[in-house]
Structure 1
């Protein structure tokens, strides 16, 4: 999954530990110091059912947090969970990238 996303958005996605890492960093070059980190782990239950678990973490400078009067940054991880439920993993990450990193902020679902 990480390599597919990286392949689509190499200027906005970093894989600090390479393709086998359990996280990726999403960044907008126009917003230095602001990063979103997608972390994943794989859970396997007693019956052998495999479930991916993804979380979105924010790394935002304190100054930017003070300017966020509507608490958008605070709500971002929960909104990401909602996107995962509705659109699935790849489309959810695509939508976050479009909103956070791209010029027009267009959603993948707008295509």
Structure 2
């Protein structure tokens, strides 16, 4: 079961890039366009990712069922200090192994 901690969490978006040396930059632009379209956002949700445009989509019921309820996002805040996040996130895998994995044995 996946839950967001009731006392809060952080959230970050995802990004897309287009390599300025891409052989087909227009194909990359079309891919980006698809990702942000209703169909692309629905496809992300099918993979259990919360679409950035979730509030503006009419998702199929089977896809909606895969997403966490909106109530769980009430105490979620965006990352405000990218440098601090970069620094502390590097230690997360080790902490996960020490504090979570050991409890699963």
TM-score range, shorter-chain basis?
A: under 0.3
Greater relative CO (CA pairs within 8 A, separation 6+): 2
Work out which of the two has the higher radius of gyration on C-alpha atoms and give 1 or 2. Answer: 2
Superposition TM-score, scaled by structure 1 size: 0.26
Superposition TM-score, scaled by structure 2 size: 0.27
* Greater per-residue strand proportion: 1
